[in-house]
Amino acid sequence: MVTSRAQSVPGSVPATTVPHEPPDSVHCLLLLVPTSSPVFHPTVSLFETPTAGKLSPCPGITASDAVSPANGADSLVSDLTDISQRTNAVPEMPEQDMMSGYQGSNSHRRSDALTVTPWLAPIIWEGTFNIDLLNEQFWLQNLTVGLTVFAVKKYMVFLKAFLETAEQHFMVGHHVTYYIFTDRPADVPHVLLKEGRQLVVLSVRSYARWQDVSMRRMEMISNVSERFRHEVDYLVCADVDMKFWDHVGVEILSPLFGTLHPAFYTANRKAFTYERRRRSQAYIPWDEGDFYYIGAFFGGSVAEVQQLTSACHQAMMVDKAKGIEAVWHDESHLNKYLLHHKPTKVLSPEYLWGDWLLDWHPVLKKLRFVTVPKNRQKIRNP
């Protein structure tokens, strides 16, 4: 039976971030080769690379608002005020979390994809970890994983399939608490949960604009962090308009992890849809950036997720006071944060694949967590 405890959460509603569709020129995958550079950029291109001119920013952003690649290098006056005190910090990670269970033998190595970041964090692909060994380690620690998801307004329609597929594939055999943030607690579906897993409903308010619903989730997660500290050891933050297709387990857990956006991990960083307007707290210059992370799947320890969500919310409030909204909302602020607070683990696009991406390159051995096809305008609008 499902354990459900409804509770009201003060403040504004966080909600799902629908991953933006890639440029028309994105076809598939690039084989990545490590370089000596301290920042990531592809070095071997197998397919056409997307161009910045085909990207689709938020309405109302004009060319004069952005820093162009042509003149940006000579005129970057950085206002990259770090919203946390830990500039360019990498969260502390136990040695066994970095090494044990990952690429421990030749049978757990990949030669066809980048498997480590320039700051030596593992990039998780099928074939780079020993799940049996990792499961043993986490069982010995008796850890609980929290999964936050936001079923607000029309997005409630996706919740049942999300939960049912999570029960099949997410952290199987481990303790899990689902935290459902919703403005419709009475509509939360009843899903039979396995032993050691429970569901908690957190009531929140809604907003007229989907952009506000999306951005407020950072505030909501931050506001509930004290409760999370007492109930779970790790937090995984996901969008609800998704389905689990294959195993997603403890191999993803780390003090701080992000997921490569499937539309941009083939691209040169100048094609990344970072916020390029200097007056935004999410601003990233054209000559900076490691990867482009998607806002639909991130997490880590409760303490790290609290710092991330609090910092992103504070940055969004600064932008709001200035009358500016980042090009991709909370995802833009997430990318700024992870640029200056390096994740201790990076998930490959196996862990989030878009329904709009029809090609599946052989480097992708599995698709684990995928978006659900939908009419975005119909779902987003009242």
240 and 151 in contact (C-beta within 8 Å)?
yes
The continuous run of DSSP H or E covering 370 comes out as strand 369-371
67 and 278 in contact (C-beta within 8 Å)?
yes
CA distance 355 to 352: 10
CA distance 211 to 319: 14
Give Rg (Cα) of the chain: 20
* Residues β-bridged to residue 236: 147, 299
199 and 162 in contact (C-beta within 8 Å)?
no
* Residues β-bridged to residue 283: 275
CA distance 305 to 179: 15
Angstrom CA distances, 157 to 153, 184, 187, 189, 238, stand at 9, 11, 9, 10, 16
Residue appearing with tokens 């389905």: 243
Map residue 371 onto helix, strand or coil: strand
Residue appearing with tokens 């480097």: 363
Catalytic residue set: 331
232 and 290 in contact (C-beta within 8 Å)?
no
Q: Show Cβ contacts of residue 170 under 8 Å, excluding neighbours closer than 6 positions.
A: 147, 176, 244, 248, 249
Nearest one of 315, 306, 329, 326 to 239, comparing CA atoms: 329
**Considering Cα of 128, then 289, then 150, then 139, what sign does the dihedral take?**
positive
